[in-house]
Chains A and B, each alone.
Chain A
Amino acid sequence: MSKQFAASNSWVILSDLLQREGVARQHLNSYNEFVTRGLQNIADEINEVEIETVSTPYKVKFGRVTLGSPRVVEIDGSVSSILPMESRLRNLTYSAPILLEMTIEEEGLPRDTTRQHIGDLPVMVKSELCQLSNRSREQLIESGEDPNDPGGYFIIHGAERVIVGLEDLSPNKILVDAEKLAGATTYKSRVYSSVVGYRSKLELTLKQDGGINVKIPSCPVDLPYVIVMRALGIKSDRDIANAVSPKQEIQDLLEVSFDKASEAPTEKDALVYIGNRVAHGMLEEFRVKRALSTLDWGLLPHLGKTEDRRFDKSMFMGEAACKLLELRLGWIEADDKDHYGNKVIKFAGQMLADLFRTAFRNLVRDMKYQLERTGQKRGGNVVGAAIRTGIITDKLNNAIATGNWGRGKVGVTQLLDRTNYLSTLSHLRRVQSPLSRSQPNFEARDLHATHFGRICPSETPEGVNCGLVKNLALSAIISVSVPSQEVEGKLWELGAKQIRDSDEKLQVEGCRIFMDGRFLGYVDDGERLAKAFRKLRREGQINPSASVLYISPVNDNAYPRIYISLSSGRVLRPLVVVESGRPLLNPEMISKVSGGQSAWRDLVDQGTIELIDANEEENCLVAMGPEDVTTRNSHMELFPAAMFGIAASIIPYPEHNQSPRNTYESAMAKQSLGFSSPTYPISPHVRQHLLVSPQAPVVRTRTLDLLKIDERPLGTNCVVAVLSFEGYNIEDAIIMNKSSVERGMARSFFYRLYDGEAKQYLGGMRDTFEVPSAESNIRGYRGEKFYRLLEGDGVVAHESQVAGGDVVIGRTSPPRFMEEYKEFEIKGPYRRDTSVAVRPSEAGVVDSIFMTENVEGGKMFKVRVRDMRVPEIGDKFASRHGQKGVIGLVVPQEDMPYTAEGIVPDVIINPHAFPSRMTVGQFIESIAGKAAAFRGSPVDGSAFAGESIDEMEKVLRGRGFEPTGREVMYDGKTGKKFATDVFVGVVYYQKLHHMVADKIHARARGQVQMLTKQPTEGRARGGGLRFGEMERDCLIAYGASMVLKDRLLDEADKTEIYVCERCGLIAYYDAKQRKYTCKIDGDQAKISTVVVAYAFKLLLQEMMSLNIAPRLQLKDKV
């Protein structure tokens, strides 16, 4: 088999995978699971409420949860079904009603069953609940949607919000660690035990003296290990020691722990011991009770919270201590917290479940209170009346709208990035780590070997979030949870034994089996079991999402262990199964998939392809391609380039670049302008860009096809020469050909949406849309010329040219405080002008106007202004290799250098851009682009599998060009040949959204701040440019005192104040008496005028308000 097999053929499988699953599958799966099962589970958790009324108490039992379809309830109470586009345009929330069956049960007899609306659930676009989920391409277009939109986000009050994936430590896993502190090593064993709703951390520490301490969150002090074991109901010391390990070396290490537990030799004593610490000073009976509840609820809650789980907990505790001591003995290695097998990713479903649980509990509590207050009346209607739907609806909406999840969790949701199509896709595959960005966390930020194929190695931001914000690789698949019963059953069939059924020999020599944090039992041969498990999975008898890890320890004394994971949120990746040195994937299967007769799922079902999580991968030996497969291999890569994420996948020949360059490009691609969506004529985003003539790149990667970037491109193919040009392209500036610009290269539109709605106020008054008239005494009237473009309905005319300050929506509001006006103003109340005007620094043409009604029934206008942006000096551009630069000069074509063929470059970049950055990929792209132009077909530049440079050189040679891409060039100004040949080729350039038009700013005079009378800050407020401390230092050093005074006083906040020379305090001018007055010195005052900065005056007065008397001592200037 050749390289071609890996390169082109198995690619088909991955392509099929992404086409079918879509980019946002992880969000949709997670949300769908929440809707179909999660909601019901949460309702079942509570199950019923007892209504304790005086005479006959009754119960309300909860039944089935169902969901309606997305709809809006209008102000008049009418209900209509909505689509996402309507929600976006009308600022609505795309949500569906949650209906819960409630049965009233009196004296054990069910009486009345009703379905009650308990609140609205925001609907994830394209989830099963969404109206769009099973529409065809044509139907989607009909519904006003982009057929390529991946979905996976919510629409709250018209804004698209994504719940980004949240990386978390795997729950219920025992992780052991050796910490070196000041020479001494402490060994720790930690478990984050999580059940729905909360988590509890258990920590076992091996002290310096050899004793083991246990830390549980609900207990303020550490407890001796053996006491906890006794309290859990293990009576004999022998059993406790055997629970840890029957091996002698381990039991020897336990001796100290037993000594330390001598003060509580029995179960009762142990419980009292714990009780003394959790409920100090209470009755003994009560202390024991508290101790038991601490053990049931605070210790390893994932194993259950009831009495009968204590045995399981003691066995789990045994294992925790066993791993700890095995680590101490050097039998096993410390666990790696950053191993991706120890991580899970939480998506929308899990996040919403947390939120819904608290909201639902609040609702039930409120309902109980209402019903108990209502008293004797009962029945479906009464229950219905007691439900305040807002509790759930508002909680969910607010959380998603603000990203505020409660308990300090902020930034959980983000506004969906619609800069271009690629940035949207990338945003939907983002993963955030909850680790603090202010701490270094070096290891957590590092790329880990287990990220391969799961997390993109390139796409991460620079700076504080580096390595904490990640992006899923193309091949990453997020596991869905697998029901444990059936898998457990299979294990028993395969010869696993429960702990109680394991004889001593098995307990000593066997392999311990764990399933999702539960200690299941033992098996004699773990490796055999793992193999058999995999066999069953390949045969389709076990869910493909289930994974098994067999660990054979470094030292034979330690236990071998098997870990079976069934949980959701693990990152899997598809690999081709290799059996006895031969990959099971054959060309026939591939052609079936490419022909559409079968799907990648079928290959998984038949065991050709396996989904492997980071843990199981420890048991695999993966070959990079068919040519590398040996008999030792268990798996083979599907397509190596799938190790990249969305953004890095657009880079041609990335394997030839220095790696940070790919990282830079991954960040920049998300800022490039393109064709973000075919819905652009009605897209209701506040800011939006559109590239006028976008092009599909001629040097491509296969991922571009897959992601349909060709249909939503984000750049232009440019002829690029590498040449210095009169110094105008130093420091990464680029030269652009004026003719290219005039012919329309990199032209874009910028859209800004202005909206105004008519609010209703108390007392029946409301805003009106109108042209504010000069005659009707309107407060804040701007002047006639600002309203000139408004039509009769108070809104600007379509296609009219607007500039900064021009009103686009004319609106007046009723006076704010009615009474106040009546008293003081003769003319009666004024209406206020609350018109919406174009931003002061922007201009454009009125592009589209939307008139609609918001959910409160108020009329609403949205006006979109477009502005054409022709490339100009200072606009930012970048190639696909992290080579960014601003236009330094736009050069007339006749001045530009030309080749013998008459080719004039579109762009000239400086040769200094290359040596230190080593973006060899750009050279190859340049040559490949040139070859593509000659041969008339695009070049495949996919990572590791692109067309070879030799191929490109052949094309160039065939056309009589240098294979190096260098050409003779002439100076356009003189007609002289350049002394050296120039490297010219075709490179795909992206226009980034940092444009001079959005940033240009200057100020002569302008607004000042109210408090300090200093110039305002920022372009939007016409602010000044700060003359800061360092600038001040320069003037002082230079001795330019006049300039210094001019900048910092005369042209800033110069003020005159009156100072009484006698008392040194501020005096004032009394206008009635026409004299300067000092309240302290009265007639004796000698008042002088002093010029100071207003900020200084403010300081004096602020000090006075703090009971400090700042006195100025004045002296004449000599």
Chain B
Amino acid sequence: MPSIHLRDVCVDFPIYQAGARSLKKMLIAGTTHGNLARDAHDRVMVRALHDITMDVDNSDRIGLIGANGAGKTTLLKVLAGIYKPTQGRIHISGHTTALINSSVGLNQDATGRENIILRGLYMDIHPRDMRERIEQVAEFTELGSYLDMPVRTYSAGMMVRLAFAVSTCIRPEILILDEWLSAGDAHFLAKAQRRMEEFVTRSSILVLASHAFELIEEWCTRAVYLKNGLIEAIGPVDEVIDRYKESVSTND
């Protein structure tokens, strides 16, 4: 049974300014102040996530909302296992597929079909298995003869279709989506939602970050409102969205 548990998770990013990143500066700091460690402690840290505690259980569909820079993408990356929390604990069970960026793993000069195989690699799908599914994927994208064209001729929406079709062709237990999905048109979104419902009924978890409230309202069962790296609200979708709207309007 897939599940996600976070306890007091913090993520701090060290900021290496142009100079601070160089070895020279570190070595000079070492010789002039005689202390490398101090340089390490003096560096500027940005806390992207602060004490995040949440539990996501089987069949939960979580919508993540919040202003730009609230930590949505960082949280998705923590859930995907890309960033290891600098503090706190995390436990994820289940096979995870993350779609943070629709163009990752896409080779601009390769054709759509080649890219289906290539993107499959990044999703941990063997080319042999991918070739069996290629027609099914091709059909879902509705890209037709475009699949034999280089991907650089695609529009953003077409790339989203390709990426989504590949990523959902094996029904991951946990699917993590960043807001790029909204680049698709209404027809595609409806189709994507049908596929999503299909796989959520087979006990899976969805975490979706988006600014499009309609998408969250339609797709998600719970919502999380992030503000400055903290969880401001978590609960039923409409209540959390109301709370977000309220908070935005009072700030104005």
Q: Verify that A and B bind, or say they do not.
A: no
